Structure 1
């Protein structure tokens, strides 16, 4: 996916709250919007190089969004809106091996008490055959250490509830899965971050035991693009 707006480099200064980050652009300190509620503290370190997307909405309080950062030589995308966009692109292009048979792609559909990121169908327009349906939840991953990627980087009761609802989807005879989008390249594997949120890890393993598909794919990331492209191992 090509980022359709101009991107520039800047030096990260500080992040006083979840949505605000201050950066240095040509020796001027500027506030940018941070489109990620996660901590990202191992990425957004004072002095690091970050990537800003120039916004063109005159009503915004900030002229830039902070969408990625360099962790040493590794570029990590942190835009929380990106995972669903590149998954939709990957689904349309048949990139996700486990889901190639699903031709109809719908966004933001409800099952039970949860709204899932995608509802897929094997046949376009065939919405009556429940055994042809598949509900997919997408989780963006930005936490990495020595090639090991983990989710979440902050406790997420909402994420745990999504997993339990996916179990109910599977019990109904429909397909169900969670896809962890690794927003970087050149990693070794993915695992749940039990140290941060034990309940989420337990729910993920329970979902696996109940037939929910657990998938993790990494991404090719540049300063002006990101594309889902390769499956990586999962350690539960």
Structure 2
């Protein structure tokens, strides 16, 4: 077990797997984030989040160094809108592994990307995390998803946006297999050239609640994203 800072600045105990590639809730959360907002290179993995506490949790799981900067980017659904936000970039590699003695063995003891849950074409393989679909989906959502309150409809919106159409198709399969009924809209192109789909508004509250259920017990979540979901659900209830 290792400590990471909680949202109230008190140490939070995170259960860390001996192997960050093995089936475990923490490794599922890590690789969900990598798939959603990361990049796997030769000898390094880079993942980006706008939640500082989530970045610390990911570093606790896999080691690495966190770099903080402020970035402006186009809104995925409308390239004419930009937003500025904090970005925390975690780089995991031979110089930042938790076990420095094994740094010469390559990333997580592998040569290049061999043995990582991603193939040479960039397609992810998540079979090792089949028993931890909630943590895997939570990592993907926090990496490339959005949660919002739709004021014009009084509903909660949950959507996933990414340049990789194959990843979103895989995400849809994970949602179809989850224990709550969560119908989805079709996979569509965004104005910026990527792809996106949304969970149906009627199903979003139940799906979001399941996704973050008991997450504070494991610490495997972004507090800012959980707060956004909770606030959106409260707004939807008040609207009704």
TM-score after normalising by structure 2: 0.29
**Relative contact order (C-alpha < 8 Å, sep 6+): which is higher?**
2
Higher helix share: 2
Higher strand share: 1
The structure number with the bigger radius of gyration is: 1
